[in-house]
Structure formats: structure tokens, C-alpha cells
């Protein structure tokens, strides 16, 4: 899957690279095409234009060269004719260059304004000269033959030989240019020497004229068009430059030329005219030129222009096309650049969009495969289009197996428990077009036939316009969750130890069964079963043993129950019973009897001990007792107390007086609590005397000063005295006020022992010792040995170990312990032996009857004897008559308490009573 994604991504990237660097290829080709076409067109045009320019220039040069040749020819012709005429004139004058010759020369020169000088040389060597350059011409004419003289005139050998050839030439001869060394101003005054031989009567003479080169120009060129870049020249056949305008800068007239023009002329002696192109040595630049031979003379006229002019000319005509081509190139380049940028931007946008799309797809795929839920997507036909790994694991099918198959073929769901098929949610989404949740308690049957509890929903997938594309089904395995939930629910309603329903579930069922009983007009029995003396088992054998016993007990009870009945553990050793569908009360009683019987078989503890056990059951039945579920339970509880009171190991039915007693007890508790709150409690004291020695102490007895009923003794509130919520409060009050009173008497010199009654719940309270200590600490003048705590058997029966420890701790504080009402409960003397008591108070019920009842007499005798053996003090309570006192003294019971001695009295009366005390028995 991931591989597929990355492949498509790289393909997208290579595609985009075609665009990335250059833009679209066709655009680039078009641009290059335009460039090439324009460039080729430009080159072709340029070439043709160049050819045209060159041809045009050549034509111009040829024309000009022809004109120069013609002008030169004419000028030469004129000069020859005029010199020939002058020679004849001179010859006709017979004088050997007499004075007329000079006149003639001057006259001639006057007619030749372009000539610098003219002279004649006689064969005798005589020379006659006229004109500006007279001196140079004289020297020239006379010394040309002489090489030394020639050197003096600055002529090189080649010059000289050319000049000498001219001097001896039989006809008109144009010599190479020479420099007038004698010209003023130090100027470079070059002259062309023109020779014309004259055949005289006797001999041959030579006429010589000097044609000055002004700025390299022959006089005849005066009218010619002369642009500054153009040069005109006259070249001799032998290579000497005759004239050149502008004058040569690199070469001189004094040497033969070997530049391109000269070479052309030498190379093509037969051609009357020609065109050349090459390096001109005269000025050292490349030039294009045309030459034309001067007819009749060994001269060539030439015109040339530098290459740059040719270029400039060409450029002049080709500037516009070039600019056009350039513009075209620029335009196409800009156009291409613009389109490329546009393309690149579009490409960038496309790539970004592609990237975003890819990322979104990637994200969706990664999400799909990383979520913990199983996901299946289908098309609109309900065929699987995709599924993630979680779905694969849950269904047991591989993705490849199911793609394209109908969802129902792989996704089988049924109702938990009943296994009835459940409508496929995807079909429902396809029909209804909205999100659909799976039905509760849906179970998926996997490929292997395993069952998996699942949960969740299906939702439609829509396109942008809202059209249905398919369905996404999301679900997850809740097998474990459902198991845990069920377990938690069971835990919340069941007891962990016995596995029985707990109080919550019991109340639930009670309400339910009560409603059912009404509907079916049957009776419902509600019972509470409580083990007798289970606490002792816990104390003696530990909690583990207690737990084991409870478990076994639960099992035994359950075997005695019918299905439909409920046995629940309400807490501790208390069990709830619901017996349904009762038609006869007997049925309930039989069931209860069976249960009690089942429990009577002794239990075997893991340690091997045998524990005999019994239980008491309180019962009530609906609708005879037409009470609410809560009251039914309370009534069963009252009946349980009745069963306990009736001696345990039995069951009792609730009756209405029970309820009344319960209400009364509550009222008493309220009254006692109010008295505590409002300070209506007080203590009276009843003296205890020793027959021989008189008063030894007093017992503090609680009184309630009722606002309406007057002073009440404990008989009016006895049931509330040891109520769990009141016992400690009362105890603390009694300790504080009795100790305060005793301390007062001690201070007054009346060292009376004070006995206080402590309820079982206060004694067993873990704060009791601290309470006692605090009371002692608050009364430092009262020695602890003057304090006695009276307890009944109740406390040790409730928790023997704690009672034993507490009483031992009291002893360690110095406080005495008295066992009150001795003989009324189940306590035996051996049991007594284990408690750290110093005093036994024989209950008044025995004392009262010792006179008439020999059994009581025997008991008292036994108790007194045993107590003596144990070293305990014995006090007889309820001594109402002197007779009793006498009898008791005979039984060697010396300590007495009772109306016969004194009634309980207010503390103020005690000192008086002691003073007036008369011993009963002597
Ligand atoms: P008890 O501790 O056995 O106290 C002796 C009871 O016998 C007292 O009754 C007393 O007045 C009564 N009495 C004494 N001599 C005679 C006699 O010759 N004939 C008859 N018929 N009765 C006699 P009282 O004061 O009504 O107390 C009743 C019970 O209330 C006490 O029995 C004790 O168990 C409890 N009680 C009294 N005061 C307190 C107290 O401060 N705290 C607690 N927790 N219980 C107390
Ligand atoms: Mg007492
Ligand atoms: Mg008593």
C-alpha cells in the first residue's frame, strides 16, 4: 500500500521535471525555431546586401579610376604636346641657348600655371632653367648622370636608374617623383619630373619639367570628388608610386611599392583595369580598390577605399533590417520568457495542488491504518472497497480476499445470546442515507467461527455534491469490555466471599418479588438469618476460618432453597431470605426448619477443629404484613431479635407489638439524647457497706431530670443506655461528674470509693482508655485506687479479647474492676477467672430470694465461696431487709448494698448519711 503511494509520487515528480527546468517543450522549440529562422534570414540578407554594397562600391571605384586615368592621359598628352612645341621653338632659334631661350622658357612657364619649373639640357651639358624650383632642377639636370651628385640630391640607386632611363628615353617619359631639396619652408616638396627629348638640328636635347605634387595630388585631379576616406593614386608600371592622395603614411615615393595594388598590376599586366582587395602598404590598412591603365603611358590610375567604409556603407543599408531582426529576436525571447514564467507558475500551482492532494491521501491512509478501530469501506452496492489491518485481524479475512465481495459475505453479525441475525448497518445506511449505529449487544462471527462482541457505527460517504459514494463501517472489539462490564455488574450486586447476591441485589429482588406476589396473589416471605455466636468463631479461630465457615454455610443454605428463592449475604453473618410463591405459611416454616437443621451439623474448619453453630431467623410475610420493602426488612429484623431473645437457634414471625416496642425504644433514645444535650442528666449515689467496718464506697447511679415526668431512674431509659451512638457520651459524662464528686469528698476528708457503671459499647470503644485516663488526669486529688468500674457480662460476650485487654489496662492504671449483675447471664465462674476483676456483685435477683429459694441460696453460697478462693471481693446487691443482711453475713458475704442500708441519694446527702450510719448487723 505504502509502496504504491510512493511510486505514484515519484512518477508525478519525473513528469513535473519536464516542465520544471524549461517550461513546455513545444514552447521552447517554437522559440528556438523563430530564433534560427530570424538568424538565417538575417545572415542571408546581410550576405546579399554585402554583395550589393560591394558591387556598388566597386562600380563607383571603377568609374572613378577610369576618370582619373582619362584625366591623367589628357594631362600627359597636353604636357607632351606643349613641351614638344617648346622644344621646336627652342631649336628654331639657332642660337645656342641664347638670351631668347630664357625668355621662351619663362613665357612657356607663364602659360603653364601647374608647372613648378621647366628646363632644358644641352648635349654639351649646358643647362637652362626657369621657374620656382630653378635651383633643384638645375642640379637635377646637370648631376643626374653622376651617381655622387644623385646621392647628394637624395636619390637612391633605383630612383636614379629609373630617372636616367627617362633622361635617355627617346620619347616622352614620366619619371618617378623626386624631392625638391631646395624648396623653402623645409616642406616635403615632391615633384614629378617630365622628360621630353627634342631632336634639334644638330643634336638631341632634353626638356624637363617639374610637376609639383600638392598634398600628393596631381594638378589635373583638382576637379575630382575626393571624400576624406577615399584615396587616388597613380602607379608606375615599375612599381614607383607617382602620386597619391592622401599622401602615403607608411611608404614613400622613393621606393617601389609592393602593396596589393602594385601586386595586382604586376600580376595582371594584360588587364586594362581591375579590382583588388588587400593590404595597402601606403597607409597600412586593408582597402578595396579599382585600377585602370592610362592609355599610352606606363601608368595605372587607382582609387581605393578602406574596408571600414565598405562596412559602414553596408551597415548604413543594413541597419534597419538588423534592427528589425533584433527586435524580432528580442520579442520572441521576451514572449518565450513570459510564457515560460506563466507556465512555470501554473506548473507550480499544479504541483502544489498535487502535493496537497497527495498529502491528504497519505494522511487519510495512514490514519486509516493506524487507528485502533476496524474500518471497512464499501461502494454503493455494499461491496468491500477497502479495509484496514484491525478489520483484517477482527474478521480473520485478508484484505485481498474480500475486496469486491458483498459485505454480508464476510461481516456476519448476530444478537448476543439469542444469535438471531442483525440487520447489516451498511444496507441500512445505503437505504436511509444517514449514520446508523450497530444494535446493542451485537456479536460478530469471524471467519473461524469465533464470536466477538463489537460496537460502533456506519456512515455514508458522499462526494462534494452530496451524492452517495459508499459507506464507511467503523467497529471495534468490545468482548473484553463487555466481559468486564458484566463482571463489574456482578461484583456490584454480589458478595465476593460467598458469591451470593448482596444487599443491593436483595433489595432489588425484594421489590420485584413483592410486585410479582401482588400480581399473582401469592405470598412472599422475607427473612433475616443471623448466625449465633459467629463473633466468637472469628475471635477464636481468626477471620480466614470465619470466611471459610461463611462460605460453607452459604452452600449448605443454598441447597435448601428452591429455584426462584433468593439467599443473599446482607453483611457480616447476616443473610437475607426471599421465599416466593408461598401459598401456606407452613411451607416457609418447613423451609426455615430445614435450613436451621442444615446448620446444626458441626462445621469442620481447615485446621481440623469442629465448630458447633446455630442460627436465628426473623420472618415476615407479604401481604399479611402489607409494608414497603424497607419496612418488610425492618420487621424481619425485629423478628430476628425476638428469635435471639427467645434463646436462639429458632425462627420467629414478626408481630405488630414488636414494631411498637421498637418505636418506644427509639423514643427513649431520643429522650436520653435530649437530656444529654440539655444537661438533664445527674448522678445519685448508693452507699456500699462492709458489715464490720461500715461504708466503703458508693455506686454512682444515673438519673434523668425529665421536665414533665420528674426524676427518672434508668429503668425508664435502660434500653438506650448502651445504644451504640450514646454509650460513650453517657460514659464520659458519668466518669467526669462521678470523679469530680469523689474528689470533692476526698478533699473533705471522706475517702470514699466510687463505682461507675460503664456500658458495653463504651468499654469496647477503642477510645475508652483515653477517656478514663483523661477523667483521672482531670481529678488529680482522686487516687485511681478509689475508682471502680462496673461492667456487666454483655461486653465480654461481644468481644472477649478486647474486653479482657481493656480491663487489664484499667487495672494497670490502678482502677478496680467489678463484675455487675453477676449470675444473670451465661457467664461461668471459669470464664470469670479469665477476666481481671477485683469485685463480684451478686445480682439482686439471687439475693432477694436466698431466704425462700434454696437454689438461690446455694448459688450465692457457691459464688461467695469461689470468689473467696479467687481472692475477689463479693458485694451482695439488693439487700432490702436486715434479715437478708444477717443471712448474707452468715454466708460470709460481708459487703452489702441495698435499700436496707441506704437508697441511692443525691451526693449532698452522703456525708450526713455516713455520720449517722448505724451498722445493721452486730
Ligand atoms: P445496678 O448497677 O445493678 O445498680 C443497682 C440497682 O439496684 C439500682 O437501680 C439500685 O437503685 C437498685 N437497688 C439497690 N438496692 C436495692 C434494693 O434493695 N431493692 C431493689 N429493688 N433495688 C435496689 P437503678 O439506680 O434504677 O439502676 C438500674 C441499673 O441501671 C443499674 O443496675 C445499672 O445497670 C444501670 N445504671 C445505673 N446508673 C448507670 C450509669 O451511670 N451507667 C450505666 N451504664 N448504667 C447505669
Ligand atoms: Mg451497678
Ligand atoms: Mg447490678
Q: Tell me, what's the pLDDT at 419?
A: 86
**Dist. CA 787–CA 755, nearest whole Å:** 6
| Rounded distance from Cα 88 to ligand 3 centre (Å) | 207
* pLDDT(95) > 80: no
CB-based contacts of 168, cutoff 8 Å, min separation 6? none
| Rounded distance from Cα 694 to ligand 1 centre (Å) | 21
Ligand 1 pocket test, pick from 763, 792, 877 with the greatest ligand atom count within 8 Å of Cβ, gives: 877
Measured from the alpha carbon of residue 843, the closest ligand is: 3
Which residues hold their Cβ within 5 A of ligand 3, which is an ion?
820-821, 877
Ligand 1, atom 30, lies closest to the CA of 714
676: its cell numbers: 444529654
Over residues 719-734, the pLDDT tens digits come to 899 888 899 999 999 9
Class of domain 371-484: alpha beta
Give the Cα-Cα-Cα angle 168, 173, 177 (nearest 5 degrees): 105
What confidence tier does 185 reach under pLDDT thresholds 50, 70, 90? low
Q: Tell me, what's the pLDDT at 514?
A: 93
HSE-up of residue 782 (Cα within 13 Å, Cβ side)? 29
**Which of 121-130, 415-424, 425-434, 743-752 shows the highest mean pLDDT?**
743-752
Mean pLDDT across the stretch 542-549? Answer: 87
- The CA radius of gyration of the chain, in Å to the nearest whole number, is 79
Determine the topology of domain 667-916 in CATH.
TIM Barrel (3.20.20)
| Rounded distance from Cα 788 to ligand 3 centre (Å) | 14
Residue bearing cell 460496537: 455
- Which atom of ligand 1 is found nearest the CA of 738? 41
**Mean pLDDT lowest among 180-194, 511-525, 851-865:** 180-194
Measured from the alpha carbon of residue 878, the closest ligand is: 1
Give the Cα-Cα-Cα angle 654, 656, 662 (nearest 5 degrees): 90
| Rounded distance from Cα 824 to ligand 3 centre (Å) | 10
**Dist. CA 352–CA 344, nearest whole Å:** 12
| Rounded distance from Cα 844 to ligand 2 centre (Å) | 11
Q: Tell me, what's the pLDDT at 7?
A: 35
Q: What percent of the chain has pLDDT over 70?
A: 95
Ligand 1, atom 37, lies closest to the CA of 701
* pLDDT(714) > 50: yes
Q: Tell me, what's the pLDDT at 830?
A: 60
Ligand 1 pocket test, pick from 697, 703, 714 with the greatest ligand atom count within 8 Å of Cβ, gives: 714
Q: What percent of the chain has pLDDT over 90?
A: 39
Q: Tell me, what's the pLDDT at 12?
A: 43
Going 244 to 247 to 253 to 258, the CA torsion angle's sign is negative
Q: Tell me, what's the pLDDT at 11?
A: 43
Over residues 440-483, the pLDDT tens digits come to 788 899 999 888 888 878 899 988 888 888 999 998 888 888 88
What confidence tier does 735 reach under pLDDT thresholds 50, 70, 90? very high
- Which atom of ligand 1 is found nearest the CA of 756? 41
- Checking 245-250 for CB contacts under 8 A at 24+ apart, the result is 245/215, 245/216, 245/217, 245/221, 246/215, 246/216, 246/283, 247/213, 247/215, 247/216, 248/216, 248/282, 248/283, 249/282, 249/283, 249/284, 250/281, 250/282, 250/283, 250/284
What confidence tier does 152 reach under pLDDT thresholds 50, 70, 90? confident
| Rounded distance from Cα 704 to ligand 3 centre (Å) | 18
Class of domain 494-654: alpha beta
Q: Could you tell me where in the chain the CATH 3.20.20.450 domains are found?
A: 667-916
Q: Tell me, what's the pLDDT at 589?
A: 92
The whole-chain average pLDDT of the chain stands at 87
- If you write DSSP's letter for every residue of 727-750 in order, what string do you get? HHHHHHHHHHHHHHHHHHHHHTT-
478: its cell numbers: 468490545
738: its cell numbers: 462521678
Question: Which residues, listed in sequence order, are joined to residue 568 by a DSSP beta bridge?
Answer: 576
Over residues 421-431, the pLDDT tens digits come to 888 888 888 88
Residues with CB under 6 A from ligand 1: 686, 700-702, 713-715, 718, 721, 734, 757, 759, 790, 820-821, 844, 877-880, 897-899, 904
Q: DSSP 3-state helix, strand, coil percentages of the chain (rounded to 5)? A: 50, 25, 25
Ligand 1, atom 4, lies closest to the CA of 701
- Which atom of ligand 1 is found nearest the CA of 898? 15
Stated as kind and residue range, the H or E segment containing 866 is helix 854-870
Question: Which residues, listed in sequence order, are joined to residue 604 by a DSSP beta bridge?
Answer: 610
405: its cell numbers: 465481495
Residues written for the chain: 922
Over residues 42-94, the pLDDT tens digits come to 999 999 999 999 999 999 999 999 988 998 898 888 888 988 888 888 776 55
Is residue 874 within 8 Å of residue 690, measured between CB atoms? no
Q: Tell me, what's the pLDDT at 835?
A: 86
Ligand 1 pocket test, pick from 733, 757, 765 with the greatest ligand atom count within 8 Å of Cβ, gives: 757
Is it true that the peptide bond before 623 is cis, omega within 30 degrees of 0? yes
Q: Could you tell me where in the chain the CATH 3.30.70.270 domains are found?
A: 494-654
* pLDDT(13) > 70: no
Q: Could you tell me where in the chain the CATH 3.30.450.20 domains are found?
A: 371-484
What confidence tier does 701 reach under pLDDT thresholds 50, 70, 90? very high
* pLDDT(832) > 80: no
Q: Tell me, what's the pLDDT at 26?
A: 82
| Rounded distance from Cα 910 to ligand 3 centre (Å) | 20
Mean pLDDT across the stretch 247-271? Answer: 86
Ligand 1, atom 46, lies closest to the CA of 757
Closest listed residue to residue 156, CA positions, set 218, 273, 240, 265 = 240
Over residues 17-39, the pLDDT tens digits come to 444 444 578 888 888 998 999 99
Q: Tell me, what's the pLDDT at 238?
A: 85
Which residues hold their Cβ within 5 A of ligand 2, which is an ion?
757, 790, 820
| Rounded distance from Cα 785 to ligand 1 centre (Å) | 22
Ligand 1, atom 28, lies closest to the CA of 714
Mean pLDDT across the stretch 882-900? Answer: 92
Core vs surface per residue 14-46: b (16+ CB within 10 A) or e: eeeeebeeebbeebbeebeebeeebeeebeeeb
Mean pLDDT across the stretch 260-283? Answer: 88
Does 186 or 361 have the greater pLDDT score? 361
**Which of 20-29, 104-113, 675-684 shows the highest mean pLDDT?**
675-684
Q: Tell me, what's the pLDDT at 2?
A: 37
What confidence tier does 797 reach under pLDDT thresholds 50, 70, 90? confident
Amino acid at each position: 500500500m505504502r509502496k504504491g503511494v510512493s511510486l505514484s509520487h515519484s512518477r508525478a515528480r519525473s513528469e513535473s521535471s519536464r516542465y520544471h527546468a524549461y517550461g513546455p517543450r513545444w514552447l521552447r522549440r517554437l522559440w528556438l525555431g523563430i530564433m534560427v529562422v530570424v538568424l538565417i534570414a538575417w545572415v542571408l540578407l546581410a550576405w546579399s546586401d554585402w554583395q550589393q554594397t560591394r558591387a556598388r562600391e566597386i562600380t563607383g571605384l571603377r568609374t572613378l579610376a577610369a576618370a582619373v586615368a582619362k584625366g591623367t592621359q589628357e594631362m600627359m598628352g597636353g604636357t607632351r604636346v606643349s613641351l614638344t612645341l617648346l622644344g621646336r621653338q627652342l631649336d628654331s632659334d639657332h642660337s645656342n641657348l641664347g638670351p631668347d631661350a630664357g625668355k621662351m622658357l619663362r613665357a612657356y612657364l607663364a602659360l603653364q600655371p601647374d608647372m613648378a619649373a621647366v628646363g632644358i639640357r644641352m648635349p654639351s651639358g649646358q643647362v637652362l632653367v626657369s621657374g620656382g624650383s630653378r635651383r633643384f632642377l638645375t642640379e637635377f639636370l646637370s648631376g643626374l648622370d653622376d651617381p655622387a651628385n644623385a646621392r647628394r640630391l637624395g636619390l637612391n640607386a633605383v630612383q636614379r636608374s629609373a630617372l636616367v632611363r627617362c633622361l635617355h628615353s627617346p620619347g616622352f617619359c614620366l619619371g618617378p617623383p623626386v624631392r625638391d631639396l631646395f624648396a623653402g619652408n623645409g616642406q616635403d616638396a615632391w615633384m614629378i619630373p617630365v622628360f621630353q627629348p627634342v631632336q634639334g638640328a644638330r643634336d638631341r636635347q632634353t626638356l624637363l619639367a617639374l610637376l609639383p605634387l600638392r598634398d600628393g595630388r596631381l594638378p589635373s585631379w583638382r576637379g575630382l570628388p575626393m571624400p576624406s576616406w577615399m584615396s587616388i593614386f597613380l602607379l608606375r608600371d615599375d612599381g614607383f608610386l607617382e602620386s597619391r592622395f592622401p599622401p602615403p603614411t607608411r611608404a614613400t615615393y622613393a621606393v617601389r611599392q609592393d602593396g596589393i595594388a602594385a601586386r595586382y598590376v604586376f600580376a595582371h599586366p594584360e588587364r586594362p583595369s581591375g579590382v583588388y582587395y588587400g593590404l595597402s602598404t601606403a597607409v597600412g590598412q586593408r582597402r578595396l580598390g579599382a585600377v585602370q591603365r592610362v592609355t599610352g603611358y606606363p601608368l595605372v590610375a587607382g582609387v581605393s577605399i578602406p574596408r571600414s567604409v565598405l562596412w559602414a556603407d553596408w551597415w548604413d543599408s543594413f541597419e534597419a533590417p538588423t534592427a528589425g531582426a533584433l527586435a524580432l529576436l528580442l520579442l520572441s525571447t521576451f514572449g518565450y520568457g513570459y510564457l515560460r514564467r506563466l507556465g512555470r507558475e501554473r506548473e507550480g500551482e499544479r504541483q502544489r495542488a498535487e502535493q496537497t492532494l497527495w498529502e491528504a491521501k497519505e494522511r487519510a491512509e495512514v490514519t486509516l491504518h493506524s487507528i485502533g478501530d476496524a474500518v471497512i469501506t464499501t461502494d454503493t452496492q455494499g461491496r468491500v472497497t477497502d479495509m484496514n489491518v484491525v478489520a483484517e485481524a477482527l474478521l480473520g479475512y485478508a484484505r485481498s480476499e474480500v475486496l469486491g465481495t458483498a459485505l454480508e459475505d464476510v461481516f456476519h453479525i448476530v444478537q448476543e445470546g439469542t444469535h438471531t441475525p442483525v440487520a447489516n448497518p451498511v444496507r441500512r445506511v445505503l437505504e436511509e442515507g444517514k449514520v446508523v449505529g450497530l444494535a446493542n449487544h451485537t456479536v460478530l462471527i469471524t471467519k473461524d467461527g469465533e464470536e466477538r462482541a463489537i460496537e460502533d457505527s456506519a456512515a455514508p460517504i458522499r462526494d462534494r455534491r452530496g451524492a452517495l459514494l459508499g459507506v464507511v463501517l467503523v467497529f471495534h472489539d468490545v468482548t473484553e469490555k463487555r466481559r468486564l462490564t458484566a463482571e463489574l455488574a456482578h461484583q456490584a450486586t454480589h458478595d465476593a466471599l460467598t458469591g451470593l447476591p448482596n444487599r443491593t441485589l436483595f433489595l432489588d429482588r425484594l421489590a420485584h418479588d413483592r410486585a410479582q406476589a401482588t400480581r399473582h396473589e401469592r405470598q412472599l416471605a422475607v427473612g433475616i438469618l443471623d448466625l449465633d455466636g459467629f463473633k466468637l468463631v472469628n475471635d477464636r479461630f481468626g477471620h480466614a476460618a470465619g470466611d471459610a465457615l461463611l462460605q460453607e454455610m452459604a452452600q449448605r443454605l443454598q441447597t435448601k432453597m428452591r429455584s426462584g428463592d433468593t439467599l443473599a449475604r446482607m453483611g457480616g453473618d447476616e443473610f437475607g431470605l426471599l421465599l416466593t410463591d408461598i401459598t401456606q405459611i407452613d411451607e416457609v416454616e418447613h423451609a426455615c426448619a430445614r435450613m436451621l437443621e442444615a446448620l446444626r451439623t458441626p462445621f469442620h474448619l481447615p485446621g481440623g477443629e469442629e465448630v458447633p453453630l446455630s442460627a436465628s431467623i426473623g420472618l415476615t410475610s407479604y401481604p399479611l404484613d402489607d409494608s414497603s420493602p424497607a419496612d418488610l426488612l425492618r420487621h424481619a429484623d425485629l423478628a430476628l431479635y425476638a428469635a435471639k431473645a427467645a434463646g436462639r437457634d429458632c425462627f420467629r414471625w414478626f408481630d405488630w407489638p414488636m414494631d411498637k416496642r421498637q418505636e418506644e425504644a427509639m423514643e427513649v433514645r431520643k429522650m436520653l439524647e435530649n437530656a444529654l444535650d440539655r444537661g438533664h442528666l445527674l448522678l445519685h449515689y448508693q452507699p456500699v457497706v462492709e458489715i464490720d467496718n461500715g461504708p466503703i464506697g458508693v455506686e454512682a447511679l444515673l438519673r434523668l431530670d425529665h421536665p414533665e415526668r420528674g426524676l427518672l431512674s434508668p429503668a425508664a431509659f435502660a434500653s438506650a443506655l448502651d445504644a451504640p451512638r450514646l454509650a460513650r457520651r453517657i460514659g464520659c459524662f458519668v466518669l467526669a461528674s462521678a470523679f469530680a464528686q469523689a474528689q470533692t469528698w476526698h478533699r473533705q476528708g471522706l475517702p470514699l470509693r466510687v463505682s461507675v457503671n460503664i456500658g458495653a459499647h463504651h468499654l469496647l470503644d477503642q477510645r475508652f482508655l483515653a477517656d478514663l485516663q483523661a477523667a483521672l488526669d482531670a481529678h488529680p486529688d482522686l487516687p485511681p485506687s478509689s475508682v471502680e468500674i462496673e461492667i456487666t457480662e454483655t461486653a465480654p460476650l461481644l468481644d472477649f479479647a478486647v474486653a479482657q485487654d481493656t480491663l487489664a489496662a484499667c487495672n494497670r492504671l490502678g482502677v478496680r474492676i467489678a463484675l455487675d449483675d453477676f449470675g444473670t447471664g451465661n457467664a461461668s465462674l471459669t470464664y470469670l477467672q479469665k477476666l481481671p476483676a477485683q469485685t463480684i456483685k451478686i445480682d439482686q435477683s439471687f439475693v432477694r430470694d436466698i431466704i425462700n429459694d434454696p437454689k438461690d441460696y446455694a448459688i450465692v453460697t457457691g459464688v461467695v465461696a469461689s470468689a473467696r478462693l479467687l481472692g475477689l471481693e463479693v458485694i451482695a446487691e439488693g439487700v432490702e431487709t436486715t434479715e437478708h443482711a444477717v443471712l448474707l453475713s452468715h454466708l460470709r458475704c460481708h459487703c452489702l448494698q441495698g435499700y436496707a442500708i441506704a437508697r441511692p441519694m443525691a451526693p449532698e446527702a452522703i456525708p450526713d448519711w455516713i455520720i449517722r450510719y448505724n451498722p445493721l448487723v452486730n
